[in-house]
Structure 1
């Protein structure tokens, strides 16, 4: 059980840290303005567009990855154990 928690936490931390780095590079125009969630610049080249795609990918990887390890896998194990208990009649 703690193994899934640590894996989910690792995915969450790494994914959101990467999101924060890319957001700081591309969506923080200044310290006096909105930071990390500001509007992305409209004049980006291929690398800038790829970085913003990486930013979105890292965000969803962090959220979905943590939910998989914290909710889906433990629920699947519980469901499988309940199914086995029901089949064996215990």
Structure 2
């Protein structure tokens, strides 16, 4: 049980840090702005070069990985194990 917790925490912190770094670069117009990390992407994706497009795609991927990764380790896997254990007890 502790290994699932640390895996979920590692995913959450690693992906969250990656998202924060990329969102700081691409979604913060300036330090004086009150809309940091929630502004639209600063280089327009239609006119961005390949590396900016990769970073913008990675930013969205890391956000969803930071949300769904811990959910899988903290909620879904323990629920599946409990359901499997309950089914084995019913069959016995």
Moved over 4 A (4+): none
Structure 2, unaligned runs of 5 or more: none
- Paired residues for 1:56-75 under 5 Å: 56-75=60-79
Deviates more, 1:39-48 or 1:64-73: 39-48
Question: Can you list the C-alpha shifts for 1:30-59, whole angstroms capped at 9, x where unaligned?
Answer: 011111121112142111111010000001
- Pair 1:37 & 2:41 matched: no
Distance 1:50 1:3 in 2: 32
Displacement, 1:13?
Answer: 0.4
Structure 2 length-normalised TM: 0.91
Distance 1:83 1:26 in 2: 49
CA RMSD in angstroms, aligned pairs only: 0.9
Question: Can you list the C-alpha shifts for 1:24-83, whole angstroms capped at 9, x where unaligned?
Answer: 111111011111121112142111111010000001111110000000000000000000
- Pair 1:15 & 2:15 matched: yes
Deviates more, 1:77-86 or 1:43-52: 43-52
